[in-house]
Structure 1
Amino acid sequence: MGLGLASRRYAVALPVWVGAYAGDALWALLVFWLVGLGWPRWSSWRVVGVAAGFALAIELSQLCHTPWLMQLRATRLGALVLGHGFLWSDLACYGVGILAGVGLEGLVGKRKRQPPSLPPSMEAEN
């Protein structure tokens, strides 16, 4: 989260493409990690699907300009989570961020995501 905020705050000191796109990719990476932490038994691809669906929903919500949503976006937290304007490039950045999460998970040593274990009484039957 800190890197994403820094990429916006110090955009003038960074290469143009980093200042423009890194925050969106890091936001999606954060979403991927939060979904994975929240549901640790899910497969990586299920986490990818949920994170991508959430990111897409947030980006599409930027096409909606209802007063209550605009008021929410006017807050710092609302702006960070919901963004302001729809951009196709944001969708590409979200994909990069989520796929980076999958790659980092593989490099760091994928946490064991397995189906819930059977109760002891059922394991004896198998």
Structure 2
Amino acid sequence: MIYFLVRILFPKKNISTVILLSLLICYSIEFLQLYQDEWIIRLRKTIFGRYVLGQGFLWSDILAYTFGILSISFIEKIILKYKKV
């Protein structure tokens, strides 16, 4: 989802830039889950906070973000390759 959002916001950027920016956003959100202050805990108890900020840090989420972003970028490269022909 983040990859598509970044691609929509920056349609002229090359794929590697979109990959790096997407990973940076995803990793930042995931590592932000390690921060446990009262105000952010209250925010995480809301629907918005739960879905955007998440509840807890997991290394498996880092792997899932990486796999997902690399997979969709690979699919995009294939589609663009055949679209030009």
TM over 0.5: yes
Quote the RMSD (CA, aligned, Å): 1.2
Query: What TM-score do the two structures reach when normalised by structure 1?
Result: 0.60
Name the CA distance, whole Å, in 2 between partners of 1:105 and 1:76.
32
Deviation at 1:41, TM superposition (A): 0.9
Matches for 1:28-107 after TM superposition, within 5 Å: 30-107=1-78
Equivalenced residue count is 81
Name the amino acid aligned to 1:48. I
Q: Which runs of 5+ in 1 are unaligned?
A: 1-29, 111-126
Name the amino acid aligned to 2:27. L
Structure 1 runs (4+) deviating above 6 angstroms are: none
Name the CA distance, whole Å, in 1 between partners of 2:72 and 2:9.
15
Q: Percent identity among equivalent residues? A: 35
Highest CA radius of gyration, 1 or 2? 1
Name the amino acid aligned to 2:30. E
Query: What TM-score do the two structures reach when normalised by structure 2?
Result: 0.87
